[in-house]
Amino acid sequence: MTFGGTSAFVTGGGSGVGAVIATALAEAGVQVTICGRRAESLSAVAATHPGITAVVCDITDEAAVIKAIAAADPDIVVANAGASESASFVKTELTAFERMISVNLTGTFLTLREGAKAMSGKPWGRLIAIASTAGLKGYPYVAPYAAAKHGVIGMVKSLALELVRKGVTVNAICPGFLDTEMTGRSIANIVEKTGRSPEEARASLEATNPMHKLVPPEDVAQVVTWLCGPGSNMITGQAISVSGGET
């Protein structure tokens, strides 16, 4: 599929699945703006393809998000940026809970809101949130993260109905544990807290997937391009699981 003449804004595009999504869209002919907090990693991704431009932007900074998305004027917005922390529920500090909500839910809200504004009056648009299987079910030790991702899915379903007759679809993609840097940090955290080997820690995460694999970020990127391609106009308000059959 090719999308010449369209533009996209991808948050968290400096690493992990965000970088893979940005590259897939750019290779399909989309002019892509990626954002994140780390200029060095953003520049490294932008250097890999002439269709990718980088801008430093913290998605929890309302003014910065407004400015960055208005400047990009995108037809496609992928709210990908997020973070995860783990602790038992009773040991979770309020500040940790607030961080998870701020990055994973409020940041996604700001991104989708400004994306919807940018698409106002256009005949076509795509708003996509990268949520998680944690938005569809519970996992131990990540209750604030799961709460935020459940919120993202509820927000997506509500916004989809608001925009349903305006040519803009709104969907969430829900990967299981991805084979990315974020999962690498989760593995390191398991090693530190349990004394397991890295191989044992990785296997414990793979075991949540019926295929016993971590999800390739390329699979998520392919779902993004599918949602932006022909034949997707009737797909809106959905939470699409990319998780090897995890339920």
Task: Reply yes or no on whether the pLDDT at 195 is more than 90.
Answer: no
- Weakest mean pLDDT among 67-76, 197-206, 217-226, 228-237: 197-206
What is the tens place of the pLDDT at every residue in 211-225? 988 889 999 999 999
Task: Reply yes or no on whether the pLDDT at 11 is more than 90.
Answer: yes
Q: Kindly list the structural domains of the chain, giving each domain's residue range(s) and its CATH number in brackets, ordered by start.
A: 7-176+217-240 (3.40.50.720), 177-214 (no CATH)
What region, left, alpha or beta, does residue 214 occupy, with left being phi > 0 and alpha being psi -120 to 50 degrees?
Answer: beta
What is the tens place of the pLDDT at every residue in 158-176? 999 999 999 999 999 999 9
DSSP 8-state assignment for residue 103: I
Tracing tokens 């500040």 back to the chain, one arrives at 95
Looking at residue 184, its amino acid is G
- DSSP reduced 3-state for 244: coil
Q: How confident is the model at residue 152 (pLDDT cuts 50, 70, 90)?
A: very high
The closest of 178, 168, 153 to 236, measured between CA atoms, is 168
Q: Which helix (H) or strand (E) holds 53?
A: strand 52-56
What is the tens place of the pLDDT at every residue in 170-194? 999 999 988 777 777 777 777 777 7
DSSP letters of 119-175? HTT-S-EEEEEE--GGGTS--TT-HHHHHHHHHHHHHHHHHHHHSTTTTEEEEEEEE
Q: How confident is the model at residue 197 (pLDDT cuts 50, 70, 90)?
A: confident
Helices 39-46/16-27 angle, 10° precision: 30
CB 11 within 8 Å of CB 107: yes
Q: Which helix (H) or strand (E) holds 52?
A: strand 52-56
Tracing tokens 């909500």 back to the chain, one arrives at 101
CB 126 within 8 Å of CB 79: no
Mean pLDDT across the chain: 93
CA pair distance 21, 19, nearest whole angstrom: 5
DSSP 8-state assignment for residue 106: I
Q: Which string of b and e fits 202-237 if b means at least 16 CB within 10 Å?
A: beebbebbeeeebbbbebbbebbbebbeeeeeeebb
* pLDDT number for residue 184: 73
User: Among all residues, which ones are annotated catalytic?
Assistant: 145
Model-wide pTM > 0.85: yes
CA pair distance 82, 21, nearest whole angstrom: 14
What is the tens place of the pLDDT at every residue in 94-132? 999 999 999 999 999 999 999 999 999 999 999 999 999
CA pair distance 24, 30, nearest whole angstrom: 9
The closest of 17, 50, 56 to 34, measured between CA atoms, is 56
